[in-house]
Amino acid sequence: MQISKTLVAAQENPVRDRNVVSVMLSDDESSDVLSRVILPAWTKGAARQDRPVVVIVGGQPGAGKTQVADLVEAVLDRRGGAVRISSDLYKAAHQHYAQLLAVDVRTAGVKIRPDTRRWQAAVEEYVRIHGFDAVVESALADAAEFRTSAAAYRQAGSRIEVVALARPQALSQLGILDRFVSEAISGAGGRYVSWENHDSCAKEMLTTLAVIEAEQLADRITVVRRDGTVLYDNELVDGSWRRRPAAEKAVTYEWRRPWSAQETEVFRRDLARTDQRLHRDLADEDRRLAVQRDAERVAALAEPVRRIAQPRRTAPGVDYHRLSAEEHRWVFDELIAPSYLNSIVGRDDPRVVYVLGQPGAGKLLAARMVRRAMRPGTTHLVGDDFKASHPDYYQLLRDDPRNAGAAIRADYRAWFTQAEEYVRRRRGDVLIEAAPGSVEEFLHSALPFATGGYPVELVVLAVREADSRLATALRYARAQQLGLSGRFTTRAGHDICFHALTGIVELAQSHPAIRAVTVIRRDGTALLRHEAGGGAPLPWALEAERQRRYTEQEAVAFLRLHQGLRRALPQHRRELDEIAALARPLMPARAQPARIGRPHPPLWPLPVPRRTSAYDSVRTFSRAA
């Protein structure tokens, strides 16, 4: 078959590596392979169309073009049949390819590239001449080549559509390595793509996409993920794009988008699996040495976007809810600062007030009361706001409401510390609502304020353990009734804060950085105020309120709420009953469970058999002996 010289010149690419010598077939050999092997195999079953459609599936090597092209081809086959076009499909037809692979997997494909590119150009021309639909796999790495090819398809009357894969380079590099190992193990040789080729194709694809839209070289362009999720689409309507061109921006955004915890987990698992296969199943030492560095490169490419692994005490021992440094910084700068730190009023005499209590103690209402007493412009910092800024938080609440906060604690505590520093630098008043887990955690927050000249005051909520734990269950039940994802603090998490509060109060009584401490009840009633230099017994006041007996009214309200929660949360009845058991000793006599009374009559007579002269067991046994 004769191949158009102009088309061949447009389709051929020079070999990038000047040290690699190409192995080209003669014109007769090339034409023979084309007519005898390639065209019969890849155009079989194709049907002529009145308005042919050619879909170019583009992406850097390893991006998953074949998988997406399979889906596109299945759709076009409904029109009668389509031709699959890709230079990689023709490598096996080259008589020197297997031998070159055995010598050097890195250069085998490069050396035969002139021939495979010639064959691809010939197949494309054959498709245009016969009016076939086609699915073309392309790296989209040469804008001039695409311009020439698009002009030829347009002249042939074909509709041109582009599907660009937005695949992060870490994943495409992993795809190259995994494909190589699979093919090498199966005996197919193993296609290998150099780092230079991979990176260059990724970079040049952005340029080609911009040219396609700027010069209207396609009728439709779509940017997708490997799983088929559409990220961007645009179409020519009456000679104009339906929306502002931005295909290359959509690809770039997806490349830089921080990964989710699930994506990171899948990546780490796939990388480990591929690395194991490389060393376990690939018997050829030379081939293993040639590509084993790729696994390290994959990990390096993932660093800017993947999540950070953090240890867990329960299986599987690790999770990936810790954000990358870039995403962590972006959340604070773009979400937290504009939302919660945008109305700071600088003061010559700034103040900080802490509202402290265990989970469920009623810090929200107490903080509102304190906030009304503070000056305008006071910044209110509360951990729940920072938790909600984490991209995983609401999904974690749905999946594991009892441990959602612990999974993202590293990030939201870091944001909280950063927010405190943000306010201090601007000398603003601040109200901090917190449930500290230790004395050290509290001092880590309070001492920088004291060092910065802030008088530090504490408002401590004295609330019974049973009351606060029941309140956390109530908060969770109310969220469920509203169809929301509510948090439900675990007993361990509650108790850590409950006991830490005792240590903080003991410390605050004599610490020079603490200006004043006020102990209040849940309803806001002040129990005791201590100021620097005073001798008020703060720990006693806290413990006395925690052990205060319930009034009749409080006991009735507690028990009524307990029964209602048992009905609303049947799966947590055992825990709710444990909470009620904590409260029982402090209840009035009427609310105490009924005691088991003494038996009546006081003694129960036991039947005693009467002896008769007819039978005496002792004498009978004696005679028998």
Burial class (CB in 10 A: 0-12, 13-18, 19+), 602: exposed
Nearest-angstrom CA–CA distance, 563 and 479 = 18
User: Is it the case that residue 107 has pLDDT exceeding 90?
Assistant: no
CA distance 468 to 360: 4
Backbone angles phi, psi at 617, to 5 degrees: -65, -40
Tell me what pLDDT residue 589 has. 85
Would you place residue 610 in the very low, low, confident or very high pLDDT band (cuts 50, 70, 90)?
low
Fold of 347-548: Rossmann fold (3.40.50)
pLDDT, tens digit (0-9, with 9 covering 90-100), for 350-382: 999 999 999 999 999 999 999 999 999 999 999
Kindly indicate the confidence band of residue 11, based on its pLDDT and cuts at 50, 70 and 90. very low
Average pLDDT over residues 140-161: 96
The pLDDT value given to residue 622: 39
Tell me the pairing of strands 230-237 and 220-224: antiparallel
- Asked if residue 594 has pLDDT above 70, the reply is no
CB atoms within 10 A of CB 527: 16
Q: Which residues pair with 133 in a beta bridge?
A: 82
Give residue 608's pLDDT. 62
Q: Strands of 514-520's sheet, edge to edge?
A: 379-382, 430-434, 352-356, 456-461, 514-520, 526-531
Q: What is the pLDDT of residue 14?
A: 36
pLDDT score at 597: 60
More confident residue, 605 or 548: 548
- Give me the torsion for CA of 302, 136, 86, 115, rounded to 10°: -120
Residue 431: pLDDT over 60:
yes
Q: What is the mean pLDDT of the chain?
A: 88
Is the model's pLDDT at 80 over the cut of 70? yes
Q: Which pLDDT does position 183 carry in this prediction?
A: 80
Q: Does the pLDDT value for residue 559 go beyond 90?
A: yes
- Six-digit token pair at 563? 């029964």
In tens, the pLDDT along 185-217 reads: 776 666 778 899 999 999 999 999 999 999 999
User: Percent of the chain, pLDDT > 90?
Assistant: 71
DSSP state of 34: I
Q: How many CB atoms lie within 10 A of CB 195?
A: 13
Mean pLDDT of 254-283: 91
Cα angle 273, 278, 282 (rounded to 5 degrees) comes to 135
Q: Percent of the chain, pLDDT > 70?
A: 90
| Res 603 pLDDT > 60 | no
The pLDDT, as a whole number, for residue 97 is 83
User: β-strand 53-58 against 430-434: which pairing, if any?
Assistant: unpaired
Distance of alpha carbon 487 from alpha carbon 476, whole angstroms? 6
| Burial label, 448 (beta-carbon count in 10 A; 0-12, 13-18, 19+) | middle
Domain extent listing, the chain: 5-178+189-257, 347-548
Lowest mean pLDDT among 309-313, 436-440, 491-495, 571-575: 309-313
pLDDT greater than 70 at residue 587 = yes
Q: What is the pLDDT of residue 383?
A: 92
Residue 10 has pLDDT above 70, yes or no: no
**pLDDT band of 170, cuts 50, 70, 90:** very high
pLDDT higher than 50, residue 624: no
Of 143, 83, 139, the C-alpha closest to 113 is 139
Per-residue pLDDT at 9: 34
φ, ψ for residue 174, nearest 5 deg: -65, -40
Asked whether the whole model's pTM tops 0.85, one would answer no
Instruction: With a cut of 80, say whether residue 283 has pLDDT above it.
Output: no
Give the model's pLDDT for residue 192: 78
Pick the CATH number of 5-178+189-257 from 3.40.50.300, 1.20.1730.10, 3.30.70.270, 3.10.110.10: 3.40.50.300
Q: How confident is the model at residue 184 (pLDDT cuts 50, 70, 90)?
A: confident
Q: Check residue 3 and give its pLDDT.
A: 35
> For residue 615, what pLDDT band results from cuts at 50, 70 and 90?
very low
Q: So what's the pLDDT on residue 100?
A: 82
Say yes or no: do domains 5-178+189-257 and 347-548 share a fold.
yes
5-21 core/surface letters (b: 16 or more CB in 10 A; e: else): eebeebbbeeeeeeebe
Residue 250 neighbours by CB under 8 Å, 6+ apart: 166, 223, 231, 232
C-alpha of 250 from chain center? 20
**Residue 17 pLDDT:** 46
**pLDDT (average), residues 60-76:** 94
Question: Could you give the CA distance from residue 68 to residue 320 in angstroms, rounded to a whole number?
Answer: 28
Reported as a pLDDT band with limits 50, 70 and 90, residue 598 is: low
